[in-house]
Amino acid sequence: MSSSSPSPDLEPASVAPAASRAADRLAFSLWIPAAVAATVCLAVGLVLEARDVGRWAVIAATGSFVVYGVDRLRDLRRDRDPSPRRTEFIERNVIGFRVALGLAAIGLVAAAAGASHEALALCATLGALGLLHRRLKRVPAIKSLYVSTAWTGICVGLPWLDTPDGSSAPGLWAVAILFPAFWSNLVASNLRDDEAALDPTPALHLARAAAAAAVILALFTPAPLRVLAWVPAAELLALLRFRTTEHYGHLAIDGALAAGALLALGQHFAT
């Protein structure tokens, strides 16, 4: 599909051009992955009672912005067919992307200053994996696993390393709840891009089942951790209405993770 004439994404097709452009800016400007990283990391940090929650949320947000920004700028040619609308948006705003990427990198370095050696080692390992994403993502099944592992490592691993009592049980519960949510999201991302070129129905059913299982599991965790059920629950709702458009993929499928984390934060502060 040519990037010069991407297919209509929003519905109905007669939607106002201004609304379509606004949706492009929100969906493709990297704020959604940054928001997902910040809100999920913040929710996990508060539940695990990490000592420096704000630092980890900033590192997660700026780190995801940098990794996804570098990947999208480097891989414009390959992304042209699966994501024509996003590719066209980046090409129109490439200078702004580069400036935002530089500012995010500065913020990442500033937030990482003073972090523990363990946290820096985790960030370096997962960051290197993220920068290799351009080569590794050619196999969709592997992509779903390692990207989900990276997201879980950042959003759970960073606050987990900073917990005061050193107990492993709460962190393991958080991993068990959130890894399936991230994995379901990545499966949907592969289906949106049609990277596997297979019948999407079995994979979509599996993604929904994983998200549902995470919700059920969360209900049996210790009380403070139950608020994290909102993250896979929101992802499950988005998957139930799954559509292959770029806007739905970024705004609904990806945005659901941030929405679920915000609901978890709301419940945490309310109780």
Q: Give the pLDDT of residue 1.
A: 35
Report, in angstroms and rounded to the nearest whole number, the Rg of the chain calculated over CA atoms: 18
pLDDT higher than 60, residue 184? yes
Q: Is the peptide bond before 200 cis (omega within 30 degrees of 0)?
A: no
Predicted TM-score (pTM) of this structure: 0.89
Q: Where are the domains of the chain?
A: 18-270
Average pLDDT, the chain: 87
SS3 label, residue 10: coil
Q: How far is Cα 96 from Cα 81, in angstroms, rounded to an integer? A: 23
And the tokens for 11?
């519905």
Q: Give the pLDDT of residue 4.
A: 37
Whose structure tokens read 């997660």?
60
Helix spans in 132-229 (H): 133-136, 140-152, 158-161, 169-193, 200-218
Torsional sign, CA 87, 89, 92, 98: negative
Q: Other CB atoms closer than 10 Å to residue 206's CB: what's the count?
A: 13
Q: Give the pLDDT of residue 138.
A: 63
Whose structure tokens read 């917990």?
163
Of 232, 230, 228, nearest in space to 213 by CA:
232
Q: How far is Cα 12 from Cα 15, in angstroms, rounded to an integer? A: 6
Phi and psi torsions of 9, nearest 5° = -115, -50
Q: Give the pLDDT of residue 12.
A: 47
Per-residue confidence at 6, pLDDT binned at 50, 70, 90?
very low
pLDDT higher than 50, residue 227? yes
> Containing H/E element for 121?
helix 117-131
Distances (CA, A) of 66 to 34, 69, 73, 104, 131: 9, 5, 11, 6, 9
Higher-confidence position of 13 and 73: 73
Q: Give the pLDDT of residue 129.
A: 77
Q: Residues 121-149: pLDDT tens digits?
A: 999 998 887 666 656 666 666 778 888 99
